[in-house]
Structure 1
Amino acid sequence: MADRFHTTSAHFQNRWGSGLSALGSEESVAEKLDLIVKRYGLRGYLLINVPSETSTDFSSNVLLTSWPDEMLKTYDHAGLIFGSPVIERLRQSTNPFTYDADRTNRRRADGKAAIAASLFDRHGLSRGAYFPAHNSAGLRGALAFGGTREAFNSQEMAELNALANAIFTEVVDLRAGRRQNVSLSRREIECLSWASAGKTSVEMSEILGLSEYTVNHYLNRATRKLDAVNRVQAVAKAIRAGLLN
């Protein structure tokens, strides 16, 4: 049985994982992930860096995802990163595991089990699995798939697990190469710096003597350059890239 699954996983990785390094862009990786999602009758995928113990938001750890922006914002607004049984398990183990939003969140000790389960149910991601990954530098991440279908069987778990490291490593390497070439303007850096200090667009406009529209323009442009999903993640990425003090 184990040999059969090993052979299946190798075949699956050759089919879906081969050529990842030749794709050359995150968009191409995302397209491949979309194909896998459709093949398995799922709703979405999520590729992350495993949040550290000091992480205060989830969005800044997201590398690629098809989760709706509204879902990420609601997750962070509700502070669901704190006490998450999924994140805690990713920090402690490198074994893949399935999740059920209702049953898994019952283990929360913060009283937010119903909020978390409802969020995943509302966006059609109530069941799925997480596949821990790492690169040669020891950076830890995870690839997750979710939907409403029945739980993955052993063969499907083996197939998807075979891709986790390859996809995580490819995206991390793509971002490392791109960060070397990211250049932010003085205004973009100023706006991100004030955003990191917790200032709103209105407050920044008063501080910098710019219109709120112009401030948002600079923030949006910086966010795109850094390939971030929102300004919080843009700030985190700019700091990691040495663009902000």
Structure 2
Amino acid sequence: MKKRLDDLIDVLSLSTDERSTHHALLSFAEQCGFDNFAYVNVRAGDTEAFSSYPQEWQDIYFANQYQTVDPVITFAKRLLKPFHWSAPLWWSSSPEERKFYAHARQFGIVSGLSMPIPTEFGRTAILTLASKLPDFRFEGAIDDIRAATATAMVHTRLKGADPLIMRRPDVSLSVREKECLGWAARGKSMSLIADILGIKKVTVRYYLDHARRKLEANTTSNAIYLATRRGLI
């Protein structure tokens, strides 16, 4: 595994676009004996993903908001180190999680290996290799440092990815919410934004607060970051 992780890190360092990153990750997964890969960047209810999973499963995952009950995400955020997962992970879980797992099995997502790291704004980036086998485990020890480096490389490569490439839950902002966030992104205060838009300062605060709630952001700066990443402003 060390050699394959080293090779992946080398290939990712030469990756120039999302297509080459996708090819590198799928090749890595298959060389390790897995069927698919998935990269997820998550904080609270905000999730973005890049994977080789079937398009139908990606649509179902976000349509059902499975990112809020996905046990792999829960474990990854808690452990922050590589771990194997399989059916037993869900045996004592909630009905919602069991429903999620039953659905995932239909698409050949039964067991796997996940490698999480903490990232910016309290987010967690997770690189997962998935198998259709009941309890597939890669033989040999997993080097925590190399695994973290590989996940960090993927995170860096995809941080500026085309918003159309990354899958995420649908979020829409009103025209006023976009305007207020857009001006805030330019460093304007709420008072100045109010003057520019011809509205009251309290109204600007309302739109910014509402945009933060929609984006599940803790601060206006975080909301600007998320809105920019999603191509909303």
1:178-197 mapped onto 2 (5 Å cutoff): none
1:230 to 1:61, Cα distance in 2 relative to 1, 3 A: closer
Cα deviation for residue 124 of structure 1 reads: 1.2
Kept in 2, the 8 Å contact 1:49–1:140? The answer is yes
After TM superposition, the structure 1 = structure 2 runs for residues 89-168 of structure 1, keeping only pairs within 5 Å, are: 89-100=75-86, 102-109=87-94, 111-134=95-118, 139-149=123-133, 150-155=136-141, 157-158=142-143, 161=147, 163-168=150-155
Match of 2:44 among 47, 53, 56: 53
Matching residue within 155, 161, 165 for 1:227? 165
Percent identity of paired positions between Structure 1 and Structure 2: 15
Count of aligned positions = 179
Quick check: 1:44–1:66 contact (8 Å CA) kept in 2? yes
Residue 240 of structure 1, CA deviation: 3.2
- Matched to 2:165, the amino acid is D
Q: Report the CA distance shift for 1:131/1:89 in structure 2 as closer, same or farther (over 3 A).
A: same
Q: Higher mean Cα deviation, 115-124 or 30-39?
A: 115-124
| Displacement of 1:119 | 1.9
- Pair 32,93 (structure 1): closer, same or farther in 2 beyond 3 Å: same
- Amino acid paired to 1:148: K
Question: Unaligned regions of 5+ residues in structure 1, if any?
Answer: 1-7, 179-224
> What's 1:77 paired with?
63
Structure 2: runs of 5 or more not aligned: 174-214, 216-224
Is 1:240 the equivalent of 2:224?
no
1:105–1:116 CA contact under 8 A, matched in 2: no
**1:2-41 alpha-carbon deviations (Å, 9 max, x no partner):** xxxxxx62x4343221142322111111111121122122
Q: CA deviation at 1:242?
A: 7.9
Alignment CA distance shift 1:241-1:128 (3 Å): closer
* Distance in 1 of aligned mates of 2:226 and 2:70: 26
Letter in 1 for 2:6: N
- Answer yes or no: is the 8 Å Cα contact 2:108–2:132 preserved in 1: yes
Q: Deviations over 1:24-69 (max 9, x none)?
A: 111111111121122122111000102x2243xxxx411x201112
The letter of the residue matching 1:44 is N
CA-atom RMSD in angstroms: 3.2
Describe the SS at the equivalent of 1:98: strand
Q: Give the partner amino acid of 2:131.
A: G
Whole-Å separation in 1 of the counterparts to 2:230 and 2:131: 37
Residue 228 of structure 1 deviates from its aligned partner by: 3.8
Counterpart residue type for residue 130 of structure 2: G
Q: Distance in 2 between matches of 1:19 and 1:76?
A: 30
Task: Please give the TM-score of this superposition, normalised by the length of structure 2.
Answer: 0.63
